[in-house]
Amino acid sequence: MSSGQRLLGLLFAAGFAVSSEAHAAPRSPISHEVFRYGCRSEIGLQEMTVFGNGTLRLKQGRSGQKSMLLMDVSFSDLAALIARMERLDLREAESFGGKLAGDWVEQCTLHLDLDGAEPRHFEFHRLDSLSLGLQRAVNLGQELIDKILMEATDGGLPRAYEAELGDYLRHIEGDLYEVVGFTSDGVGVELISVEQPLGMYIARVDLRRVFVGLEEAP
C-alpha cells in the first residue's frame, strides 16, 4: 500500500469516527446523573442525585429499610445549580479512600458529569481533609440533601405535617419512633424508639430533616 493510500485510509477512519460521534444518540436527561454525592457505612446510606431533567433524588436508610424521596426543580433553578457546579475548581482535588474500617466509618463518593466536560469521580471518608473545591462540592451536596428533606413531596413526611401524640415516625436510619410529648414551650418534640431503648428531643422545624415517613402503629 502506498503512503498516499495509507493517508487516505487514515483520513477516512478519522472522518468516520467524527461522523459516528456527531450522529451518536444524545443521552437522556431523565437518566443522566449530573451530580451525585453520598456516604455509606455498615450502618446505613444517604445519597442524593441531580438528574439532567431537574429531578432530585435522595436515597437513605439502613440496609433493607431504605427510603427514597423525589422532587423536581424548575429549569431556571436547574440552570443555576449547573452554573454553580461549573464554577467548582476540582483541579487540586484528590481521591483518598484510605483503609479506615468500622461500622460508623462513612465512605463517601462524589461524581460530577457536566455536558462538555470529562466526568469527575472522587472517593473519600467523611472526616478526610478535602481540597477547597471538593469541600465546596460536598457542601453543595449536603445543601441539596437538606432541600430534598424539607421540600420533597414524593415520599417523606406529609408536606403540612404537624406532630401529634401517638404518631409513629420512621427515622432516616430506619428505626421507628413514637411521639410521646412536647417541650413546655411547644417548640420541641419528644420521641422514643419502638425498637430499642432510645429517646430524643427534636425541634418541630427539624422533623423533616430527621424523619422520612409517617406510619401506622406497629
For residue range 69-93, list pLDDT tens digits in order.
888 899 999 999 999 999 999 887 7
pTM of the model: 0.62
Q: Is 172 exposed, middle or buried (0-12, 13-18, 19+ CB in 10 A)?
A: buried
The dihedrals phi and psi of 175, each to the nearest 5 degrees, come to -70, 150
- Predicted confidence (pLDDT) per residue in 175-208, tens digit: 899 999 999 999 999 999 998 899 999 999 888 7
Where is average pLDDT lowest: 6-10, 26-30, 70-74, 101-105?
Answer: 6-10
Q: Which residue has the cell 406532630?
A: 163
Within 10 angstroms of residue 15's Cβ, the number of other Cβ atoms is 10
Residue range 33-151, CATH number: 3.30.1560.10
Domain assignments of the chain as residue spans, ordered by start? 33-151, 168-215
End-to-end CA distance of the chain: 80
The dihedrals phi and psi of 27, each to the nearest 5 degrees, come to -75, 150
DSSP assignment, residue 205?
Answer: G
CA distances from 127 to 42, 96, 124, 137, 205 (A): 16, 11, 8, 15, 27
Taking the C-alpha atoms of residue 99 and residue 124, their distance in angstroms, rounded to an integer, is 10
- Predicted confidence (pLDDT) per residue in 162-173, tens digit: 899 999 998 877
